[in-house]
Structure 1
Amino acid sequence: MNMTALLLAATVPALPLPPTPAGNAPASVLSAPVAPEGGPAQTIAVGTPVPAQWWREFGNDALNALVERGLKANPDIAAADATLRQAQELARASVGGLLPQVDAGYQASRARTSNTIAPVLADQNVMLYTLHTAQVSLSWSPDVFGGGRARVRSARAAARAQAARADAARSMVVANLVQSAIQYAALGEEIDATRDAVTAYRDVLALIKLRQKIGAVGASDVAAQETALAAIEGQLPGLERARKAQEAQIAVLIGVAPGSSLPPVPRMDELTLPAQLPLSLPAQVVAHRPDVRSAAAIMEGASADMKAAVAARLPSFTLSAQYGGTANTFADMFASGNPFWTLLGGVSAPIFHAGSLLHQSHAARAALEAAQAQYRSTALQAFADVSNALTAIKTDGDALAAADRGNRASADSLNFTRRQYELGAVGTFTLLPVLAARAEARSTWVQARAARLVDTVALYQSLGGGTGQQLGQ
């Protein structure tokens, strides 16, 4: 490549960001789904951004306090903020490379001259002397071909990428905390439902034993009910273990050791399902999602790195100056005849580096292409997350409607069958499936309610989940 071509390559501006892939957004992102029928109705407001403090939409003060504590005390957020400050300081430091550097120095030396060499001082009789030297030096490398400016842009892009990661850390902590609180409450209800089922199984077992005494049923009926009772009792330890795990997760998210006393966690019936959900437009999703903003900043930094790699193959210029004074006494350093000054100018150009500079520029271009592909992938994944969240909300509503019907029907069926059993109209093996169906239906109903709340959180998060310092306001 000749010098003219190199100069042209060096002055090419950084590659622009690829256009926002809004036209590739799935149809489900651009249109509102039908409001689900199960439980409270939810409507979709197309074009509405995500509220900065979206967790307040659930209408619970205990949840709000839990999230605020997590935002202040979570160690992951603290680490992300510290890393952000580091990146910002490095970006500010990179600007100094574009400006002249000024340094000052002072040196004092004490020496004795040998008799066999000419003395350094005018007085031939002085063999022991002191030299004081003070000087100011200035150096500057003009950024003729933009390599220094490209490095500054790269450092600033790295700071913006880290800022987006810090936002992502806040968003993730808030979403995980709200979801953990919902799961904790749901597991509490499942435990209560299972304990109610255990009580019902024990009541039936007592009834069967009473009927056995009068000869109405045999030992097989008692054994069958005892087996069913043991099975339902065996579900409790697993549920309690899962609830303890959620409790430990909440503790970690708010920055305390597991096992510590937790602040109040809301119950399921204390959480209000948001009646209106936001649905950002594709351009808003790309602008608000921290992962997309981070990918865009990384791509911009890769573009700047490629420009810097090209500039490294071009000549570099250096200007420097020195001014100072030297004397055998401190007060005479700048007396008449003692000051000195120097002006230097230089240019250097790479001639032979065994192809390393060329390959470094090729590597920078490959890194840019990888960053562009990663940006497109991240943006498309953002649309997929929104689409999946919308689908989940619709299907959760249908599932909750079915679970609600099943829960009410199972309760009626159990009451009816139990009265029949007490009257002797049906046997034990007719009652047992009804008991099992009742326990399963109630558990499914609790899980369906929790799923609808959790997937509502997932929609908020997929749309960006509140950005920047707004999360802590």
Structure 2
Amino acid sequence: MSSIRFAIPSLAAGVLLVSCPSLPSAKSDERDEGLEFGGEYASGRAPVPELVGSLSDLFRDGELKKQIRLSQSKNPDLAEAAARLEEAGFNTRNARAGLFPSIDASGEARRLKTNSSGGGNNFGSVITNSYSASLDAQWEVDVWGRIRAGVAAADADRNAVAADYAAASQSIAAQTAQAYFDLIAAGKLEDLATRRLESFQNTLDLVNRRFELGTADLGELDLARTDVETAKSTINQRRNSRDQASRDLAVLTGAYPDASRTASDWPSLKRGVAAGIPSTLLESRPDIFSAYQRIRAADANVKVAHRDLFPKFSLTAGSGQQSSVLSNLAESNFTVWSLVGGLAGPVIDGGERRAELGAANARAKQALASYRSTVLNAFREVENALGSEQYLKKQEEATARALDAARSAEDRSLRNYESGLVEILTVLDATRRRFTAEEDLISLKNLRFQNRVALALALGKAY
């Protein structure tokens, strides 16, 4: 059996190495020790997905290629994933903004009327105009690296979401291919049900003729009629399945779920799964990359929570101009300015910040466990798909031989019945066996195609 267990790959070794990371201890929540990872993943560059194009190359089917292309451009779930990636980009920009000063401008115009009294009973009023403009700047000095850690966390989150988008793209392409194969299988099973009805109807006609001649009894006629009516029921079941397969494919391609799609021929699949698949192919799986980036984000958030225990240094500057004449505000020399340096730190907060640090530590442990689970599940998926490929191939070959034998037995029993050597039950049983073998062969063919897609998805590339 083909396997990926040839040597200890870097990915599997990574699972063991990260099993004991230097996370901040839950008992000593003030420690600040970061996770250390090497390799290309540390660069933050997500793997380039190859599944979408390689699926089309593997199966060589123009209609399948068209459906996959539609799914990549029209699928609403993929559009949602793209929007999440766009949001993550803005979140990263928002985090980076904290590294720079913020400047606010404000202006005010005021008109004031006051009453005044002169000599005797003479009263008057005075109207004054006042205009002001100011610029205020504020900047937190990132002495402890809290803001920079937040930026690192946002960058890692964005990388993880980018990998999630790639994983969604691959998953939707794989689902589209599998839905296309389901539609082919459903169409073939519907056609088989139609031929089954025709076959049982011919047998019924034969029994009816013999009944009229007095060489068959009413029991044989009822048996033949039973199979005809059962075949009619099966046709409706198969048509319903074909319509549902068409709707499934339509939704994946972003179209209205109608039953208008058809597919009749299996695509060519001339190459099998070669032995010696390199386990390093798993490194191109975007879900593994995403899980790794979430470890980096969680580690950076631990730093943010730890630095939040320390005082914050800030610089605040302000300048302004005030005049009773609006045009004077354009003068460059401000009449008022200020520069303030501030220090603020927690004194008593009821343990809120320390609790957040403990929670951040726990989230980092969760991310690590999730990463290990993702890697192990990736190996499981590959091993299962490789094993299924071998067993399904043997099943298909045995079923094909069974079909040949069933056809021969059916022909022989029909000739013997016409000669009066066997009962109708023998003919009907042989016919059922032939159609069952043919139905099994269609289902196994579909399962093999489905499994090849599952293997490609597990590896991140059609191999």
**Structure-1-length-normalised TM-score:** 0.83
Alignment partner, residue 138 of structure 1 = 137
The answer on 1:451 being equivalent to 2:451 is no
Pair 1:326–1:159, CA change in 2 (3 A): same
Pair 1:337–1:161, CA change in 2 (3 A): closer
- Per-residue CA deviations over 1:189-215 (Å, capped at 9, x if unaligned) read 111112111111111111111111222
Given residue 135 of structure 2, which amino acid in structure 1 is its aligned partner?
V
Verify the 8 A CA contact 1:280 1:463 in the aligned structure 2. Answer: no
Paired with 1:10 and 1:146, the residues of 2 have a C-alpha distance of 15
Pair 1:98–1:126, CA change in 2 (3 A): farther
Q: How big is the shift at 1:307? A: 0.7
Report the identity percentage. Answer: 26
Q: How big is the shift at 1:89? A: 1.2
Alignment partner, residue 268 of structure 1 = 265
SS across alignment from 2:257: coil
Verify the 8 A CA contact 2:72 2:169 in the aligned structure 1. Answer: yes
Paired with 1:154 and 1:54, the residues of 2 have a C-alpha distance of 33
Q: How big is the shift at 1:66? A: 1.2
The answer on 1:409 being equivalent to 2:429 is no
SS across alignment from 2:183: helix
Given residue 307 of structure 1, which amino acid in structure 2 is its aligned partner?
K
The answer on 1:303 being equivalent to 2:302 is no
Pair 1:104–1:274, CA change in 2 (3 A): farther
Q: How big is the shift at 1:274? A: 4.6
The answer on 1:382 being equivalent to 2:371 is no
Alignment partner, residue 37 of structure 1 = none
Given residue 54 of structure 1, which amino acid in structure 2 is its aligned partner?
S
Alignment partner, residue 53 of structure 1 = 53
The residue correspondences of 1:125-164 to structure 2 (distance < 5 A) are 127-164=126-163
1:315 to 304, 311, 314: 311
Alignment partner, residue 5 of structure 1 = none
Verify the 8 A CA contact 2:187 2:263 in the aligned structure 1. Answer: no
The answer on 1:358 being equivalent to 2:370 is no
User: Root-mean-square deviation (CA), in Å?
Assistant: 2.5
- Per-residue CA deviations over 1:327-356 (Å, capped at 9, x if unaligned) read 111223366986221010010111110111
Given residue 401 of structure 1, which amino acid in structure 2 is its aligned partner?
E
Q: Give unpaired runs (5+ residues) of structure 2.
A: 1-27, 41-48, 118-123
The residue correspondences of 1:71-470 to structure 2 (distance < 5 A) are 71-113=72-114, 127-259=126-258, 261-262=260-261, 265-269=262-266, 271-277=267-273, 281-285=278-282, 287-333=283-329, 339-465=335-461
Paired with 2:331 and 2:291, the residues of 1 have a C-alpha distance of 61
Given residue 284 of structure 1, which amino acid in structure 2 is its aligned partner?
L
SS across alignment from 1:234: helix
Verify the 8 A CA contact 1:326 1:339 in the aligned structure 2. Answer: yes
Paired with 2:433 and 2:424, the residues of 1 have a C-alpha distance of 14
Q: How big is the shift at 1:143? A: 0.8
Which segment drifts farther, 364-373 or 420-429?
420-429
Paired with 1:311 and 1:114, the residues of 2 have a C-alpha distance of 58
- Per-residue CA deviations over 1:347-396 (Å, capped at 9, x if unaligned) read 01111101111111001101100110011011100110111110111111
Q: How big is the shift at 1:9? A: 8.7
Pair 1:192–1:424, CA change in 2 (3 A): same
Alignment partner, residue 43 of structure 1 = none
Given residue 36 of structure 2, which amino acid in structure 1 is its aligned partner?
P
Q: How big is the shift at 1:403? A: 1.1
Paired with 1:309 and 1:251, the residues of 2 have a C-alpha distance of 47
- Per-residue CA deviations over 1:403-436 (Å, capped at 9, x if unaligned) read 1111111111111111111121211121121011
Pair 1:184–1:352, CA change in 2 (3 A): same
Verify the 8 A CA contact 2:51 2:170 in the aligned structure 1. Answer: no
Which segment drifts farther, 292-301 or 303-312?
292-301
Verify the 8 A CA contact 2:95 2:150 in the aligned structure 1. Answer: yes
Alignment partner, residue 64 of structure 1 = 65
Paired with 1:260 and 1:211, the residues of 2 have a C-alpha distance of 43
Paired with 1:338 and 1:166, the residues of 2 have a C-alpha distance of 52
Q: How big is the shift at 1:221? A: 0.8
Which segment drifts farther, 152-161 or 340-349?
152-161
Paired with 2:94 and 2:332, the residues of 1 have a C-alpha distance of 40
Paired with 1:440 and 1:297, the residues of 2 have a C-alpha distance of 50
SS across alignment from 1:410: helix
Q: How big is the shift at 1:179? A: 0.5
The answer on 1:14 being equivalent to 2:15 is no
Pair 1:426–1:334, CA change in 2 (3 A): closer
Paired with 1:414 and 1:179, the residues of 2 have a C-alpha distance of 34
Q: Give unpaired runs (5+ residues) of structure 1.
A: 1-7, 21-48, 117-124, 467-473
Between the two proteins, the alignment pairs up a number of residues equal to 419
SS across alignment from 2:340: strand
Pair 1:351–1:128, CA change in 2 (3 A): same
Given residue 80 of structure 2, which amino acid in structure 1 is its aligned partner?
A
Verify the 8 A CA contact 2:29 2:357 in the aligned structure 1. Answer: no
Alignment partner, residue 17 of structure 2 = none
SS across alignment from 2:111: strand
**Structure-2-length-normalised TM-score:** 0.85
Bigger relative contact order, structure 1 or 2 (CA pairs below 8 A, ≥6 apart): 1
SS across alignment from 1:16: coil
